[in-house]
Amino acid sequence: MSLKSINPYTGKLIRSYPEYTQKKIDAIINATHQDWQKLKLTSFKERSVWMNNIAKALITEKEALGKLMVDEIGKPVKDAIAEIEKCASVCEYYATHAEGFLEDELIETEAQKSYVSFQPIGIVLAIMPWNFPFWQVFRFVAPALMAGNAGILKHASNTSACALAIERIVKQSGFPENSFNAIIISSSKLEETIKNPLIKAVTLTGSTGAGKKVAALAGGLIKKTVLELGGSDPYIVLKDADLQMAAETCVNSRLINNGQSCIAAKRFIVEQSVAKEFIKLFKAKMEAKKFGDPADTNFHLGTMARTDLRDDLHKQVLSAINQGAKCILGGYLPEGKAAFYPPTILTNVKKGNIAYNEEIFGPVAAIIIAKNEDDAIAIANDTSFGLGGAIFTKNIKKGETIARERLQAGSCFVNSFVKSDPRLPFGGINESGYGRELSLYGIKEFVNIKTVYIK
Ligand code: NDP
């Protein structure tokens, strides 16, 4: 069997990648373990130099690496290059801060000396998705290697070129050669790898379904997991919001990566008294976003990552309409081979509608009207997810209280769209997952928090 990378714009096969046999994967895991023995003894200073080498290589090669994403998933070229730059920034961030984050913490007891030390745990398996094929991986790689852990990457089946490029860049950086390896294998054959005793923990970014299966398997083996799963992020537009700014921000968030982002705005919950005006502004801005060849910088949107994902999205839109939603923009399958989906708006979305309940992973906005502020917050929290959320209001104090105390999600932003930032923790609650990536919290997920006590 082989994994196929198909260009979603041309519909053509880019390349087939023969799947690795279990024997080959076991050999890679053994080699990674061998080099972890060396890696864990290296100093933060050495790791910092190597991590900065990765950042430099990313910047030097950003056009070529970006092109891999344009080809494999139809990401607009400007966004692809920006993604590589962001990866370099997370490498630099951890190169600078890892040592401070993982410094021993002295704790006064009756002992002569007692403290907490943060020790590496070994190989962490990273199961990663196709939507940000570099960023999702680097926000794992940078803290993991800086903490002295090794990594094995199982990337999505449609992004093998990205996986191998990341492996090459890490290998050329100076870290012990097998500190980080990619394995080319479909998710259906991953069980043996998760069970391998040298794999100490698993981090997965992807759908809630995949997260549940991996967490169940890893849990049965007492292996820790961090799960960054889907979301149906609510964006609340209160009646005192700057509607122009809110509409602009909401559209930009909804259309990040052709609508395929876990933290894209998905449900727009608007107070009744400003709904008409907001919808007018929102529609005009969505209409202005054009899709086309992802390599052409004149277009805002490229294709979706795969035709099957695009077709599933369209089915969700049709079901939503069947269940009473009104489509006021888009909502059709463009002709031709390219996996395009137009910016789409569904209004009249009510509780029970698929666009209210499910994650819609594409450029489709569901607008829900709320009676008042309390109703808007209740609707926002009426979800099985809890990744991010945003509130638009000119009353900053009120916005902050809603963000801090009332919205149930891992990240809540006021008058801004939700974004990940190396300096801030990132992750969800409920079916959006658990654990945190990035910042001080991210690097401490996969370490042995060890107590040392000297009488
Ligand atoms: P998946 O969640 O299936 O894929 C993400 C990663 O998980 C891939 O590497 C995949 O490998 C792997 N995976 C899937 N199932 C398992 C399993 N049982 N055991 C181990 N690994 C597994 O995403 P899809 O590509 O199927 O996309 C479907 C939906 O998932 C999207 O429409 C969206 O809702 C959600 N999604 C959310 C993302 C996020 O950022 N939170 C990112 C991507 C998708 P393989 O490719 O080989 O199956």
415: left (phi over 0), alpha (psi -120 to 50) or beta: left
pTM above 0.95, yes or no: yes
Ligand 1 atom nearest to CA at 187: 47
Tell me the per-residue pLDDT of 206-238, one tens digit each, with 9 for 90 and over. 999 999 999 999 999 999 999 999 999 999 999
Gap from CA of 292 to ligand 1 centroid (Å) = 25
Q: What are the start and end residues of each CATH 3.40.605.10 domain in the chain?
A: 2-229+430-454
Calpha distance 382→270 (Å, rounded)? 15
Residue 193 in contact with ligand 1 by CB distance below 6 A: no
- The predicted structure's pLDDT at residue 10: 98
pLDDT band at 140 (very low <50, low <70, confident <90, very high): very high
Gap from CA of 204 to ligand 1 centroid (Å) = 9
Of the candidates 2, 4, 11, the residue with the CA atom closest to the CA atom of residue 307: 11
Residue nearest to atom 28 of ligand 1 (CA): 207
Residue from 137, 207, 257 to probe ligand 1 pocket by mutation (most atoms less than 8 Å from CB): 207
Ligand 1 atom nearest to CA at 157: 46
3-class secondary structure, 13? strand
- The predicted structure's pLDDT at residue 68: 98
Residue from 19, 187, 188 to probe ligand 1 pocket by mutation (most atoms less than 8 Å from CB): 187
Residue nearest to atom 27 of ligand 1 (CA): 207
Tell me the per-residue pLDDT of 398-426, one tens digit each, with 9 for 90 and over. 999 999 999 999 999 999 999 999 999 99
Residue nearest to atom 44 of ligand 1 (CA): 206
Give the CA distances from residue 380 to residues 80, 233, 261, 372, in Å, rounded to whole numbers and listed in that order: 31, 8, 18, 12
pLDDT band at 166 (very low <50, low <70, confident <90, very high): very high
Query: What's the whole-number mean pLDDT along residues 72-99?
Result: 98
- The predicted structure's pLDDT at residue 13: 98
Gap from CA of 210 to ligand 1 centroid (Å) = 6
Ligand 1 atom nearest to CA at 228: 41
Set 228, 271, 359, 373: catalytic member: 228
Of the candidates 159, 127, 128, the residue with the CA atom closest to the CA atom of residue 7: 159
Ligand 1 atom nearest to CA at 186: 47
Query: What's the whole-number mean pLDDT along residues 171-198?
Result: 98
Beta-ladder partners of 388 = 411
Ligand 1 atom nearest to CA at 209: 2
Gap from CA of 206 to ligand 1 centroid (Å) = 4
Q: If you write DSSP's letter for every residue of 62-112 in order, what string do you get?
A: HHHHHHHHHHHH---HHHHHHHHHHHHHHHHHHHHHHHHHT--EE--SSSS
Contact 289, 255 (CB under 8 A): yes
pLDDT band at 332 (very low <50, low <70, confident <90, very high): very high
Residue 427 in contact with ligand 1 by CB distance below 6 A: no
- The predicted structure's pLDDT at residue 366: 98
- The predicted structure's pLDDT at residue 9: 98
ipTM of the complex, rounded to two decimals: 0.96
**What values do phi and psi take at 112, rounded to 5?**
-60, -40
> Is-catalytic flag, 262?
yes
Contact 162, 134 (CB under 8 A): yes
Topology adopted by domain 234-414:
Aldehyde Dehydrogenase; Chain A, domain 2 (3.40.309)
User: Tokens 């990866």 belong to which residue?
Assistant: 87
Q: What's the per-residue H, E or C state across 282-348?
A: HHHHHHCCCECCCCCCCCCECCCCCHHHHHHHHHHHHHHHHCCCEEEECCCCCCCCCCCCCCEEEEC
Gap from CA of 127 to ligand 1 centroid (Å) = 9
Tell me the per-residue pLDDT of 27-43, one tens digit each, with 9 for 90 and over. 999 999 999 999 999 99
- The predicted structure's pLDDT at residue 407: 98
Set 87, 91, 250, 262: catalytic member: 262
Calpha distance 57→87 (Å, rounded)? 11
Residue nearest to atom 18 of ligand 1 (CA): 210
Gap from CA of 400 to ligand 1 centroid (Å) = 33
Contact 406, 389 (CB under 8 A): no
Tell me the per-residue pLDDT of 276-318, one tens digit each, with 9 for 90 and over. 999 999 999 999 999 999 999 999 999 999 999 999 999 999 9
Gap from CA of 208 to ligand 1 centroid (Å) = 8
Class of domain 2-229+430-454: alpha beta
3-class secondary structure, 365? strand
Residue 196 in contact with ligand 1 by CB distance below 6 A: no
Gap from CA of 129 to ligand 1 centroid (Å) = 6
pLDDT band at 262 (very low <50, low <70, confident <90, very high): very high
Reading the block at residue 345, the tokens are 């708006």
- The predicted structure's pLDDT at residue 368: 98
Calpha distance 269→88 (Å, rounded)? 35
Calpha distance 335→298 (Å, rounded)? 20
Tell me the per-residue pLDDT of 67-81, one tens digit each, with 9 for 90 and over. 999 999 999 999 999
160-171 vs 62-73: helix axis angle to the nearest 10?
160
Calpha distance 58→88 (Å, rounded)? 6
449: Cβ contacts below 8 Å, ≥ 6 apart: 116, 118
Query: What's the whole-number mean pLDDT along residues 340-365?
Result: 97
- The predicted structure's pLDDT at residue 102: 98
> Is-catalytic flag, 373?
no
- The predicted structure's pLDDT at residue 424: 98
Residue 256 in contact with ligand 1 by CB distance below 6 A: no
Beta strand pairing status for 388-392 and 411-414? parallel
CA 193 to chain centroid? 23
Gap from CA of 232 to ligand 1 centroid (Å) = 16
Residue 189 in contact with ligand 1 by CB distance below 6 A: no
Query: What's the whole-number mean pLDDT along residues 174-200?
Result: 98
Residue 433 in contact with ligand 1 by CB distance below 6 A: no
Residue 360 in contact with ligand 1 by CB distance below 6 A: no
Reading the block at residue 64, the tokens are 């070529």
pLDDT band at 103 (very low <50, low <70, confident <90, very high): very high
Q: What are the start and end residues of each CATH 3.40.309.10 domain in the chain?
A: 234-414
Go through 202-221 and write b for each residue having 16 or more CB atoms within 10 A of its CB, e for each that does not.
bbbbbebebbebbbebbeee
Query: What's the whole-number mean pLDDT along residues 268-278?
Result: 98
Task: Tell me which H or E stretch contains 165.
Answer: helix 160-171
Calpha distance 324→326 (Å, rounded)? 6
**Arithmetic mean of pLDDT over the chain:** 98
Residue nearest to atom 8 of ligand 1 (CA): 156
